[in-house]
Amino acid sequence: MKPLEGLVVLDFSQFLSGPSAALRLADLGARVIKVERPDGGDLCRRLYISDLELDGDSTLFHSINRNKLSFSANLKEPNDLAAVRRLIAKADVLIQNFRPGVMEKIGLDYERVKAINPRIVYGVVTGYGKEGPWKNKPGQDLLVQSLSGLTWLSGDDDQGPVPFGLAVADMMAGAHLVQGILACLVRRGVAGMGGLVEVSLLESILDTQFEVLTTHLNDGGRLPQRSRVRNAHAYLGAPYGIYATKDGYIAIAMNPVGRLGELLACPELAAFDDPNTWFTRRDDIKTALQEHLRTNTTAHWLSVLEPADIWCSDVLDWDRLLRHEAFRALEMVQSVSRTNGATMKTTRCPIRIDGEMYTSPVGSPKIGEHNDSLTEEFGLRP
């Protein structure tokens, strides 16, 4: 039995942050009902991150809406809205990520939903919170990254701002929403009361930067200074970075520079035995290291460094990763299918409980695919 079996979650959200939170709850056993418009459904059905689609929907939609049911409803139509309210009365969790004010206009804001179901846990994702001058800005991941300072941490010093290569603000907000929802569910089990859980993309990505932002808040307000050479962390000294070798790349984390120079037979590093220079002369060290590492293969350097317990690794692309024995041992890939047989491969839930991996073969739903069965089960007809 999965830990959230028996819970009913209504997922009104679109795109990434809210649906990713609902997906994780589904992975952990909750029954997730995706409430979407009859005319087109979740806009993410047509949000393509490549030219690949499956059965009429984007692979992005399939990947974050697997293992869910779909109930289509026009929330501006009285009969549909009444059916949704009856569904809310029997739900445990509601998730929405509309702009501030949208659910209030529909009549499904927290206070009115709470009047229908006092035990419900109501989760909200916004872009920038409900107050302040940015509250009505589009809550889009790249925009949030750009406003949050995150783009000044990646890339080399001469590159200008470099965005993270994933929708990291969306995914972190979804993860934080799950944490808040589970906390409220625990409280409900103890005290019998539901609650309102609110996260924003901006607050989540600021929290993701807590380590370096805390440094900035306490070092006189100095801005992060990225390395000009193989920057991997704006606040860490040499040798931290990824370096080209004769036939690929090698990642080297925090390590004593003098010891590294001895093992690599790189005499240029001997001058940097003072740990302070690993910061003050970071680029000089990394330049010398880069030139030296190009003289031999990745496998050669790993054969020297790994037995000496130096923190380092090969740098894999997805092709090499997926063929690697270590990846296959994780069994991270599962196949999911729609009822019409359309099948795709995707990742599984990364959480194990009591040693069990959580998988499900259920793919994403078609728009309104489960209207009839849910109407019958929950008594949604007037």
What are the tens digits of pLDDT across the range 319-377? 999 999 999 999 999 999 999 999 999 999 999 999 999 999 999 999 999 999 999 99
Q: Tokens 């000496």 identify what position?
A: 308
Asked if residue 286 is part of any domain, the answer here is no
How many Å apart are CA 334 and CA 67, to the nearest integer? 12
Q: How many CA atoms lie within 13 A of 313 on its CB side?
A: 6
Residue 173, in any domain of the structure? yes
Residue 281 is predicted with a pLDDT of 96
Q: Is 372 a catalytic residue?
A: no
- Side chain identity, residue 238: A
Residue at 221 is within a domain:
no
Query: Looking at the chain, how many residues does it have?
Result: 382
Average of per-residue pLDDT values in the chain: 96
Q: Which amino acid appears at position 190 of this protein? A: V
Q: Are 255 and 308 in contact (CB under 8 A)?
A: no
CATH number at residue 167: 3.40.50.10540
The active-site residue, picked from 27, 42, 80, 170, is 170
Query: Over pLDDT 70: what percentage of the chain?
Result: 99
Domain that residue 68 falls in: 8-208+347-378
Task: Please report which confidence band the pLDDT of residue 49 belongs to, taking 50, 70 and 90 as the band edges.
Answer: low
> Does 308 fall in a domain?
no
Rounded to 10 degrees, the C-alpha dihedral 348/354/355/361 comes to -30
239-267 pLDDT tens trace: 999 999 999 999 999 999 999 999 999 99
The predicted pLDDT at position 46 comes to 87
Question: Rounded to whole angstroms, what are the CA distances from 287 to 26, 94, 137?
Answer: 48, 53, 42
Q: Is residue 318 part of a domain?
A: no
Task: Give dist(CA 165, CA 219) in Å, integer.
Answer: 29
Confidence grade of residue 168 (pLDDT, cut at 50, 70, 90): very high
How large is the average pLDDT for residues 30-57?
88
Give the helix ranges, DSSP H, for the chain. Answer: 17-27, 59-64, 78-88, 102-106, 110-116, 141-148, 168-191, 201-208, 210-218, 257-264, 277-280, 282-293, 298-305, 318-323, 325-330, 371-378
| 219 part of a folded domain | no
Confidence of residue 48 (pLDDT cuts 50, 70, 90): low
Distances (CA, A) of 149 to 42, 133, 343: 30, 18, 40
Q: Mean per-residue pLDDT for 287-298?
A: 98
What is the DSSP pairing of strand 57-58 with strand 53-54?
A: antiparallel
Distance CA 245, CA 344 (A): 36
More confident site: 48 or 1: 1
Give whole-number Cα distances, 73 to 42, 81, 133, 190, 215, in Å.
12, 7, 32, 34, 48
Q: Could you give the CA distance from residue 334 to residue 124 in angstroms, rounded to a whole number?
A: 30
Average pLDDT over residues 19-41: 97
Report yes or no: 209 and 150 within 8 Å, Cβ to Cβ: yes
Residues 186-240 have pLDDT tens digits of 999 999 999 999 999 999 999 999 999 999 999 999 999 999 999 999 999 999 9
Q: How many domains does the chain have?
A: 1
Give every CB contact of residue 194 below 8 A, 6+ residues apart in sequence: 114, 117, 118, 119, 120, 121, 122, 184, 188
Within a domain: 169? yes
Contact 198, 233 (CB under 8 A): no
- pLDDT over 80 (residue 303): yes
DSSP string covering 160-196: -----SS-HHHHHHHHHHHHHHHHHHHHHHHHS--EE
For position 364, what pLDDT does the model report? 97
- Give a yes or no: residue 306 inside a domain: no
